[in-house]
Amino acid sequence: MSAARPRLRVGLVGAGFSARLHAEAYRQVRGIDVTLARVAAGRPDRARHFAEEFGVESVAGAADEVLGAPDVDVVDLCVPTAIHGRLAVAAARAGKHVIVEKPLTGCFAPPTTPRAEMLRRALADSDAILAACRESGVRLCYAENWVYAPPIQKARRLLAAAGGPILRMVGEESHGGTHAPVNTRWETGGGGSLLGKGCHPLGAALYLKADEGRRLRGRPVRPRAVTAEVARLTDSEGFRAAGRPFLNLVPGADVEDWGMLLVTFDDGTVAQITGGDSTLGGIRNQLAVYGARAVVLCNINPNDSVQAYAPDPAVFGDEYLVEKLETKAGWSAPQPDEDWMTGYPQEIQDFAEALTAGREPLSGAALARDVIAVVYGAYLSAAEGRRVDLTPYLAP
Amino acid sequence: MSAARPRLRVGLVGAGFSARLHAEAYRQVRGIDVTLARVAAGRPDRARHFAEEFGVESVAGAADEVLGAPDVDVVDLCVPTAIHGRLAVAAARAGKHVIVEKPLTGCFAPPTTPRAEMLRRALADSDAILAACRESGVRLCYAENWVYAPPIQKARRLLAAAGGPILRMVGEESHGGTHAPVNTRWETGGGGSLLGKGCHPLGAALYLKADEGRRLRGRPVRPRAVTAEVARLTDSEGFRAAGRPFLNLVPGADVEDWGMLLVTFDDGTVAQITGGDSTLGGIRNQLAVYGARAVVLCNINPNDSVQAYAPDPAVFGDEYLVEKLETKAGWSAPQPDEDWMTGYPQEIQDFAEALTAGREPLSGAALARDVIAVVYGAYLSAAEGRRVDLTPYLAP
Amino acid sequence: MSAARPRLRVGLVGAGFSARLHAEAYRQVRGIDVTLARVAAGRPDRARHFAEEFGVESVAGAADEVLGAPDVDVVDLCVPTAIHGRLAVAAARAGKHVIVEKPLTGCFAPPTTPRAEMLRRALADSDAILAACRESGVRLCYAENWVYAPPIQKARRLLAAAGGPILRMVGEESHGGTHAPVNTRWETGGGGSLLGKGCHPLGAALYLKADEGRRLRGRPVRPRAVTAEVARLTDSEGFRAAGRPFLNLVPGADVEDWGMLLVTFDDGTVAQITGGDSTLGGIRNQLAVYGARAVVLCNINPNDSVQAYAPDPAVFGDEYLVEKLETKAGWSAPQPDEDWMTGYPQEIQDFAEALTAGREPLSGAALARDVIAVVYGAYLSAAEGRRVDLTPYLAP
Amino acid sequence: MSAARPRLRVGLVGAGFSARLHAEAYRQVRGIDVTLARVAAGRPDRARHFAEEFGVESVAGAADEVLGAPDVDVVDLCVPTAIHGRLAVAAARAGKHVIVEKPLTGCFAPPTTPRAEMLRRALADSDAILAACRESGVRLCYAENWVYAPPIQKARRLLAAAGGPILRMVGEESHGGTHAPVNTRWETGGGGSLLGKGCHPLGAALYLKADEGRRLRGRPVRPRAVTAEVARLTDSEGFRAAGRPFLNLVPGADVEDWGMLLVTFDDGTVAQITGGDSTLGGIRNQLAVYGARAVVLCNINPNDSVQAYAPDPAVFGDEYLVEKLETKAGWSAPQPDEDWMTGYPQEIQDFAEALTAGREPLSGAALARDVIAVVYGAYLSAAEGRRVDLTPYLAP
């Protein structure tokens, strides 16, 4: 076994939340010798601490050092979305494969920027990344973990067995407010709930229809049009009058805290996708898939594999229950292994296998770009109050 | 107790499915002596059979006889939507209270009719009914059972206790295809899934926001705009190629078999409403209510109060499981008393009490008309691919 | 309709928790004129207050006055179990029908009393009640609401449709500690969790097997043997060392706070029944029925017809959530109408119909006595650490 | 990383169902170079086929060759329980670590053998295995996957965080009939449902209380007494009269198809454990844990992470749904990754780590022996109709 073990040397840019998730997942890769070769972070002490904790071989002074390091095969960008584009292009030009967290990129501009302009710029930036990868002959791995979440993959297999098209999907990711203040402003986050939360169920929905199309007609089913609405539900007199806010409000936030988009696919079927930062009760990660011959409901979170009850919020101490749950009292649905159920180790395993075997990952460049086209198309739809034809915006 | 028992004499028009549901519910009314005084039906033998089964005192030769009968206090219209308008106006002019099944009315015209025209005509017909009732001093009872479904009323109480606005609702009624061929064509049904199924969760959502508004600011919260999409998901090559259709297809159907509408309320909050006739797996009647201070999920159907399993579809014989379930094998979620969970007896009890006590029912004229405005506004939105401002179409 | 309405005049003894539940249910009776004619209570002011609230025609000075009143058809005993026997016998001898809360009776003696003696005395008292009713030609209504709970009745219908025997049932009623201090001591309560909680699922299980036997072989299936264990789970060093007790502890309690009994029926099938007063998280009322040809799971409580979430225990204020839930924070499963789901109105409806029509109620004397035989047989089993053959203790 | 990778060379005896599960799990081990060095099976062609599929380096002609091979560090016994004892002792004496499937061993004798004799012999065989390991200085890994199932481990962490004792557990493994005819007869299987199914939730329950004891009082909480009943629920006139049996009946079966045991621990707390081969509806793997300060419900199977619906049993083709489900129609709850949720890869990972690091596995010799003592104590209890004191039968 061990003789022929392939090898992958990873350079990490970023040492925060998602870098940690990835590092945990790299540890679990099977059949491939994964080395964390370099890490860089804005705050050097954080990079050092991270390197110690996860056994990274060397701490880089800056991102560019990671990109240029000869002992790095793939650069994993765990940084704010706003710098994805620049770093991804640079990494690709340096001949490195690129792993980029979702969303691929965006438009980072004042909230008054016309949405048509935002759509144009977000796609231009996406295309620059894709072109750089293509030209350098490296692969883009799009870290959309929902593609790898076990319920989504089981849905894919069940639907393939059943045959016939998916007629409709209903997906949602929502919780009580984003982690990162950077994601609450257009200029730094590129959008709100629809981009940051909605991209997950949207990514899974696009993936499932593309997969279905390849199976049933030899080419992916693609999105054709989008209709959307967005709102700042917590920005109202009624909300402010309701007393202590249990939702996670961030001063200065200007992005939507809820959005809903309706994708029509080129085969006439649909997906209803919601992203929310104004939903109490812990994170909801759900995709219902209604097919012509079967139904599959994916409950990534919550599901009832474990149900826990505490008579008092202090009872469970520091033990993790559920992302973004406002109280640890009462009944809750803690995931026994949230990373696994959410697809992180499976995603990294696929990336490692794809990159060492020279094949496309399940979640790659085409999906990354489609998500950008649909989400920014949705922003345009919501702003202008009209359905947006996506045909002009999709890559062929 | 019995001395002062109020009395209500009911004249039924129609002897089909919903007439039977109502008759069962009249039997269960408490504290009021309800008499089924007259019944008329298109097919006289059906009326006779119905009268025998439910103890109706007299069979009328035609609807007009019921409307004009001196011993009838209220006329209960259990007839196709297309004749609601004419009969309701006639009943009101004859001085009778009116109970009308949902939806209140519609526009019954060829599918090519412009949706703006449909909206205008459906509202004109609605207004004619409301005016006739107002002028005759009788009440209109709008038989939207979801308003009375126990989970919805429990949600109302919980939300009132919690205080603060509802920020978002997500509601759906869907199943594998409508019962009645009459409801599959625009000229006879006035619309498809959005009208026939979507009106239920929409009615509940409008009711809850109106109730909240009265409580928090002294006047109902009203819908302000609607964005929608509709489709015939089963009308595609992919669907036809998928083999034996498990969904309930009706030849000649021209209405949508799925629709989704997004209501924005005048306080900036939203409701995401779906109606579907293309969903396998048994009926779904669900409303999720996300408030500023609490969440309430209403699972009218399915819920897990009873879970049943049959290893073979023949095992449960004729015992009822779930509306529109395609197979009686495997696991299912039969309601122990579907009428009760769906609000039928509670609805009829409220109507009987309201009419004998001279008060408005919980579900009355204002709600009935708002539902029409929103649904036909949604058809306009979907047809023109744009958000529709509802302000011009709402009654003051 | 109203001409022939039958009439039932009720005399209530007791004005506490279960009297209120019954009074609410009498209000809802359909098709029969129910009059609350008399009420007596240990505390006269309580009786007066009760009479005013529920429209009882006259307040009696003592229980005997109710039993002897000429305008009373049925005496409803909502009093502590320990006086069921004396009052039921007296009521029957006065020619009144008797409604008795569960359990029918018991043995009220020091905890040191041998369990064989307890079994003998509890059955002797039961037999005295049954004999008095038989001799006076009146009926005994055994207020076991689980027999009437909609999920149990749906299970009965599904199993009848499926055919074949029930092989196994698993039932439980448990929560965080009994309401009434009187039920925490042997001398006043006659037993603990097994009697007070376990009698519910046991009653339902005995009912379903008796019903099955009548259907399949023309006579009820009866219990044949019982094996049981009981414990005071909260009476341990470990529990006391665990800090603030969230369970409801009553000083001086000497009865079990958990018990489990295993009934073997005369057809070789089984029921596993648990009663608990030491279970956090709100009441559990569940019966799983595993048949030869079908499975039915009855979730009286909790079920997911409504799911509610509060980020803080104060949010829902006084609105009722779930019996015995220790916190109102977090997720919970409030019943939209707990009385209905638990079978109270259906039970009283059946009693009113049975008594006015001169038939046996679904839950009557035979079931009441079998429950006593099994539960006190279980106490004997647990005390002596052996299986108890019930044959000598069952009525023919 | 790769320099210091520890190495484990596995010799497999058996090439059937559980060998395949283990082989899949060995593939997934992280951080250790696992080699499948040898495999032997009763049927040589099966061993060859297995070796090819899983990359086993060499096929052995007989089990003894595996045990004696110099390039084998651990012998993994995936063989019928009846030969566990002989092979485990031989492997240990050959200086190999031993992995043994559950149950550790048993008594394989005619059904008429007195249960006290069975208990004695099963423990004698257990002790022989433990002694051989101890004397040779090798470790015994007891392959009780429930110990490693993510919901059980999450329960352990939550309960540790909450503090206080577990008061009660309710566990069940049941389905519609055992896979292997060998397990339906006493002489070949050593027992029925209680041994083959009940050992799983029992193992988890004993593990959790042992863990709690070590945490709270410095030594494991141990079982003290057991009360049990067993039955052949499908061996009745009623069952045979019910028509086509949907349960999986095996001609010549003489073991119980249902059993329930009640363990009392040395701290006065309890576990109610059920094993069943007569339960329709797919496998149930559940453990409810009621603590003094928290509740955790573990739903290994079914849970709602994925819910699937097929209108016809043929729809899902060969795609796996749920172990032992009698129909693929209707709703079901397929696990997205049943091996993972059931703990197989985690179990093998722990064994590999424990053996290479020289520590005890989480599931080891002490647990294996306790399970045997409790289950055969339960058989004695059921046969003699009395509680069995386990003290004389437990290892110190």
* pLDDT tens, residue by residue, B332-361: 999 999 999 999 999 999 999 999 999 999
Compare all CA atoms of chain C with the CA of A309 and give the residue at the minimum distance: C281
Give the pLDDT confidence of A209-223 residue by residue, as tens digits: 999 999 999 999 999
The torsion defined by the Cα of B213, B216, B218 and B222, in degrees rounded to 10, comes to -20
Please tell me if residue C310 touches chain A, with a CB cutoff of 8 Å: yes
Over residues B290-296, the mean pLDDT reads 98
Residue A3 pLDDT class (50, 70, 90 cuts): low
Which residues is B34 bridged to in the sheet? Answer: B8
Contact at CB, B168 and A279, closer than 8 angstroms: yes
| Residue C287 near residue B307, CB atoms below 8 Å | no
Which of D279, D331, D332 to probe by mutation at the B interface, max B CB count within 10 Å? D331
| Residue C334 near residue C346, CB atoms below 8 Å | no
Which of C226, C233, C263, C267 to probe by mutation at the D interface, max D CB count within 10 Å? C233
Contact at CB, C306 and B334, closer than 8 angstroms: no
Q: Residue A181's closest CA among A16, A44, A385, A4?
A: A16
Residues 246-305 of B with CB under 8 A from D: 246, 280-281
For chain B, report the end-to-end CA distance as a whole number of angstroms.
Answer: 42
What pLDDT was estimated at residue C334?
96
Q: Which distant-in-sequence residues (6+ apart) come within 8 Å of B323 by Cβ? A: B175, B282, B283, B301, B338
B150-162 b/e (C-beta count within 10 Å ≥ 16 → b): bbbbbbbebbbbb
CA–CA dist C64, C90 (Å, integer): 8
Taking the CA of residue C320 and the nearest CA in chain A, the distance in Å comes to 15
| Residue B101 near residue B16, CB atoms below 8 Å | no
| Residue A152 near residue A146, CB atoms below 8 Å | yes
What pLDDT was estimated at residue C3?
53
Give the pLDDT confidence of C370-389 residue by residue, as tens digits: 999 999 999 999 999 999 99
Contact at CB, A229 and B264, closer than 8 angstroms: yes
The torsion defined by the Cα of A92, A93, A96 and A101, in degrees rounded to 10, comes to -30
CB count, 10 Å around CB of D11?
Answer: 30
Provide the strand spans (E) within chain C: 7-13, 33-40, 58-59, 74-77, 97-101, 140-143, 166-174, 223-231, 258-265, 270-276, 284-291, 295-301, 306-310, 330-332, 388-389
β-strand A223-231 against A388-389: which pairing, if any?
Answer: antiparallel
Residues 2-41 of A with CB under 8 A from D: 2, 5, 27-31, 33-35
Residues 329-388 of C with CB under 8 A from D: 385-387
For chain C, report the end-to-end CA distance as a whole number of angstroms.
Answer: 42
Chain D residues with CB inside 8 Å of B313's CB? 329
Neighbors of chain A by Cβ distance (3+ pairs < 8 Å): B, C, D
pTM as predicted: 0.97
Residue C180 pLDDT class (50, 70, 90 cuts): confident
Q: How far is CA B5 from CA A86, B353, C120, C349, in A?
A: 80, 11, 50, 19
What pLDDT was estimated at residue D2?
43
Place of tokens 């996506």: A390
Q: Give pLDDT tens digits along chain D (396 positions).
A: 445 789 999 999 999 999 999 999 999 999 999 999 999 999 999 999 999 999 999 999 999 999 999 999 999 999 999 999 999 999 999 999 999 999 999 999 999 999 999 999 999 999 999 999 999 999 999 999 999 999 999 999 999 999 999 999 999 999 999 878 899 999 999 999 999 999 999 999 999 999 999 999 999 999 999 999 999 999 999 999 998 899 999 999 999 999 999 999 999 999 999 999 999 999 999 999 999 999 999 999 999 999 999 999 999 999 999 988 999 999 999 999 999 999 999 999 999 999 999 999 999 999 999 999 999 999 999 999 999 999 999 987
Angle at D30 between CA D199 and CA D7, to 5 degrees: 95
Contact at CB, D327 and B331, closer than 8 angstroms: no
| Residue C395 near residue C366, CB atoms below 8 Å | yes
| Residue D28 near residue A30, CB atoms below 8 Å | yes
Q: Please give the mean pLDDT across all residues of chain C.
A: 96
What pLDDT was estimated at residue B2?
43
Place of tokens 């485990």: D88
Compare all CA atoms of chain C with the CA of A325 and give the residue at the minimum distance: C311
Residue C1 pLDDT class (50, 70, 90 cuts): very low
Residue A41 three-state SS: coil
Contact at CB, C304 and B307, closer than 8 angstroms: no
**Amino acid in position D175:** H
Please tell me if residue A128 touches chain B, with a CB cutoff of 8 Å: no
Contact at CB, C233 and D268, closer than 8 angstroms: yes
Contact at CB, C170 and D274, closer than 8 angstroms: yes
Which residues is C260 bridged to in the sheet? Answer: C229, C274
Over residues A32-55, the mean pLDDT reads 96
Compare all CA atoms of chain B with the CA of D243 and give the residue at the minimum distance: B315
CB count, 10 Å around CB of C137?
Answer: 9
Q: Residue D261's closest CA among D100, D374, D109?
A: D374
User: Per mean pLDDT, which range of B251-260, C263-272, C292-301, D244-253 is the poorest?
Assistant: D244-253
CA–CA dist B9, B97 (Å, integer): 11
Please tell me if residue C83 touches chain A, with a CB cutoff of 8 Å: no
Q: Which distant-in-sequence residues (6+ apart) come within 8 Å of A194 by Cβ? A: A228, A230, A256, A259, A260, A261, A275, A375, A378, A379
CA–CA dist D395, D140 (Å, integer): 16
ipTM: 0.96
Contact at CB, B336 and C153, closer than 8 angstroms: yes
Chain C residues with CB inside 8 Å of B162's CB? 310, 315-317
Q: Is pLDDT above 90 for A77? A: yes
Chain A residues with CB inside 8 Å of C280's CB? 309, 311
CA–CA dist D393, D119 (Å, integer): 9
Q: How many CA atoms lie within 13 A of B173 on its CB side?
A: 21
Which of C9, C305, C320 to probe by mutation at the B interface, max B CB count within 10 Å? C305
What φ, ψ does residue B237 adopt, rounded to 5°? -60, -40
DSSP secondary structure letters along B240-269: HTTSS--S---TT--S-SEEEEEEEETTS-
Chain A residues with CB inside 8 Å of D29's CB? 30
CB count, 10 Å around CB of A395?
Answer: 13
What pLDDT was estimated at residue C211?
98
| Residue C255 near residue C191, CB atoms below 8 Å | yes
What pLDDT was estimated at residue D1?
41
| Residue A204 near residue A147, CB atoms below 8 Å | yes
| Residue C309 near residue A328, CB atoms below 8 Å | no
Contact at CB, B151 and C304, closer than 8 angstroms: no
Over residues C318-333, the mean pLDDT reads 94
Q: Which long-range contacts (CB under 8 A, 24 or more apart) does B359-362 make?
A: B360/B139, B361/B139, B361/B141, B361/B142, B362/B147, B362/B148, B362/B207
Angle between helices C17-27 and C44-54 (to 10 degrees): 20
